[in-house]
Structure formats: structure tokens, C-alpha cells
Amino acid sequence: MKNVAFNRRQWLKQGALFTAGLAALPEVLAAPRLVLLAPESPYGLNEMTDHLRVPGIKLNANENPYGISPKARQAIMESLTDGNRYGFSKSDGEQLRAKIAEKDGVAKESVLLTAGSSEVLGMVGTYLAFSGKDRGNVVFPWPTFSLMADHFEKLGTAVVKVPLTPDKLHDLPAMLAKVNRKTKMVYICNPNNPTGTLLAPATLKAFCQQVAKDVHVMVDEAYIDFLNPPDNESMASLVATYPKLIISRTFSKIYAMAGLRVGYALAHPDTVKALEPFRHGGGLVISNTSLAAALASIQDTDFARMSKDKNAEARAYTQAELTKMGLKVVPSHGNFLYFDLAKYPSDFIKDMAQRGLMVRQWDDYGTKWGRVSIGTLPEMQAFATAMKQVMPS
């Protein structure tokens, strides 16, 4: 009982702190919007509130804050009529593959639809870990999006992590130096999460052409749609020639469909065929509603442009605010910013959570870095206000 009372007291105290934080922030924070408190973070307000929904701003998962496209919403409503039918009874999947092929300049047979690009990373991981005589090794830049590396580790494949350069770029020569006869794959994340850094397409292309002759290369292009030409050149043009090159893409970011789960792989048709048996649920995991939403979204270029423009505006504002506070900020090409927290004296995640803001923190080879996802401009103004409150002067 004593323990419960203590927790309750602590909870009330934390709640008061949280409310005080809210009062200090612009109105947007007080909007009755519910988010799960720091689901990705080991920190919540305390263990009792971790699982509770509290009002706040969710800037910890690189989500698109503008909701799904109105056309996708409409398509979802219409697709509900066929909710009793399996996806293969309808043509949406095939239509979507054709639209993707047209947009990305590949053959339709090079497109493999998945439930989010996480499914691509998982499938390719399982396929490669169990290929050949042993589990081998894989080479990753570090830090990067960790899902695939974690998957390989669980399967017993050795994950070789190569630190980014001081500018937080992939260190391609150092990664190449780690490739040996047991290497099954090299992972590239461009732009990289969490740093937002970008490899120039020509540099990456030369690397893919060199490595993918012998070793699989996985290029994660989750954030490519936030780029402007010429930076937005995909490696898709190489898949017809390099069967060991696989590209992952997602509808979660520019199309704001993170909760609807649609992604895809682009690869040589033979590679697509080899990967198909590894699709979860035999390819039935993408719901009809999600397929309909993706098909509507890919055709809604106005929505994608709006997402991209608003992200660029709010990102520039946030970068300028953090720089004014004396923080080192890595120039970002994605919908998030990575900033140096070396001088932060206490628990950054907790301090921000108490002000209603969910953000992330990285231990980058012993140095502390923060990552904030780019929300709407008013959300980023609230973030800047909270940062000014928590940063030591």
C-alpha cells in the first residue's frame, strides 16, 4: 500500500510539473490531442504514466503532422465496402505496383509491395541471414535506423557498425574496408536517420556499382521524397542491372501513412521473386483500406508537395532557433533534426516530456545527441519555447 501511495504522490507531482510546463507554452500545446507518452523512449513521466495517454506533441517518430491526404481518406471510406474481400480479389495492389513503377522508372515486376518498409528490411534480413552456409556478417553505418541491424543480430548474423564521419556522413571507404568474404549485405540509409545527412547520388551510385557486383546492398530511401533535384535521384535506375541491389521505400513519411502500413521494395525481378516467399502472411498483410489509401496518395501530388514545402519551412525555422541557442545542428535533408546535447546537464527526454514534448536522444559513441521530428510550424514554435526553458544559459 505504502508503495502505491508513494507512486500516486509522485504521479500527482509529475502531473503538476507537466501542467505548469503546458501553461508556459503556446496554445497549440493545450489542444486536446492525445499521444502515447514516449512509446519509443525508456523514459516516461514515471512508470505509472508510461502507458497512459496524455496531451502533448509527438516529435519522436519522424511522422508527418499533416494527416493523410483528403483523397486517401475518401478512398479508405469507399474501400470499406469491400472489407469482406481479400486484397487479391481486387486490383488495387496491381494498380499500385503499376503507378509506383511509372513514378520510379522501373518495371512493374521490380516492385514488391509490403506492409511498410520495415517489412522489406525484415524480409531481406531473414532471406540473407539464412542464405549460404553460415549467418555471416553485415555492415552498417552507425548511428542509423536500427531496425534491420537489430533483426540481423537476433538471427545470429554479426553486425559490423562503422561510425559516421565527424560530419555525420556515411564513411563509405571505411564501410568498404569492412566487407569480407563473409559479408552478406551493406546497409545505406540515404538520407540517414537520425542525422538527416545525405550522400550525393553520384557518390552513392559509384559505391553501389562497385559493391553490388558481389555483395547485397540495401539502400533505405525512406526520406527521399523530402529532397529536391538533383539530390532526390534514387538508386532505382540500377536495379535492372544489379540483382544484389535492393531499395526500400515507404508511404509513411511524405504521404503521412505511418499507421496505415504500406511500403515497397524495388529490386531486379529475379530478386523480387526470391524475396516473395518471405513476405509475412503470404503478402496478405496490407489491408484493402491501406492499399486504396496508397493508390490515392501516390496520385495526390499536391499533398506530397505541401508536405515537403511545409516540412522545409518548419525545419529551417527549427534549425535557426536551435543555432541561436548555441547548439550544433547537423544540416538535415529529412523531416527531423539531429543536434548536439553534449552540454545538457540532466535528463533531456524527461525534461521535454514534462513540457509535453516527445523527442529522442542518442548515445553516439559516448556523445549525447537529440533528435526532434519536424511537426507543424506552431508545434516547432512550442518546441523552441520548451528548449529555451530547459537549456542551461
Ligand X SMILES: Cc1ncc(COP(=O)(O)O)c(C=O)c1O
Site residues, ligand X (CB under 6 A): 62, 116-118, 145, 189, 193, 220, 222, 250, 252, 258, 263
Please, what is the minimum distance in Å from the beta carbon of residue 13 to ligand X?
A: 34
Please, what is the minimum distance in Å from the beta carbon of residue 116 to ligand X?
A: 3
Q: If we measure between CA atoms, which residue out of 104, 120, 103 comes closest to residue 112?
A: 120
d(C-alpha 68, C-alpha 192), whole Å: 24
Residue with cell 559513441: 365
Residue 49 or 197 having the CB closest to ligand X: 197
Please, what is the minimum distance in Å from the beta carbon of residue 362 to ligand X?
A: 13
d(C-alpha 223, C-alpha 225), whole Å: 6
Q: If we measure between CA atoms, which residue out of 389, 379, 390 comes closest to residue 26?
A: 379
Q: If we measure between CA atoms, which residue out of 103, 80, 83 comes closest to residue 255?
A: 103
Please, what is the minimum distance in Å from the beta carbon of residue 165 to ligand X?
A: 19
Please, what is the minimum distance in Å from the beta carbon of residue 258 to ligand X?
A: 5
d(C-alpha 4, C-alpha 7), whole Å: 5
Residue 21 or 263 having the CB closest to ligand X: 263
Residue 57 or 189 having the CB closest to ligand X: 189
Rounded to the nearest 10 degrees, the angle between the axes of helix 288-299 and helix 301-324 is 80
Residue 145 or 207 having the CB closest to ligand X: 145
**Residue 291 C-beta-side C-alpha neighbours within 13 Å:** 26
Q: Is the dihedral of CA 54, 57, 59, 62 positive or negative?
A: positive
Residue 250 or 297 having the CB closest to ligand X: 250
Please, what is the minimum distance in Å from the beta carbon of residue 247 to ligand X?
A: 11
Residue with cell 493545450: 30
Please, what is the minimum distance in Å from the beta carbon of residue 122 to ligand X?
A: 9
Are the C-beta atoms of residues 96 and 294 closer than 8 Å to each other?
yes
Residue 247 or 384 having the CB closest to ligand X: 247
Q: In whole angstroms, how far apart are CA 202 and each of 106, 208, 223, 224, 237?
A: 19, 10, 18, 15, 12
Give the nearest residue (CB) to ligand X. Answer: 116
Please, what is the minimum distance in Å from the beta carbon of residue 249 to ligand X?
A: 8
d(C-alpha 240, C-alpha 222), whole Å: 20
Q: What does the DSSP 8-state code read for residue 106?
A: S
Residue 201 or 263 having the CB closest to ligand X: 263
Please, what is the minimum distance in Å from the beta carbon of residue 325 to ligand X?
A: 26
C-alpha cell at 188: 545505406
d(C-alpha 34, C-alpha 86), whole Å: 33
Q: In whole angstroms, how far apart are CA 277 and each of 16, 78, 132, 201?
A: 53, 31, 17, 31
Are the C-beta atoms of residues 187 and 112 closer than 8 Å to each other?
no
Residue 14 or 193 having the CB closest to ligand X: 193
Residue 145 or 242 having the CB closest to ligand X: 145
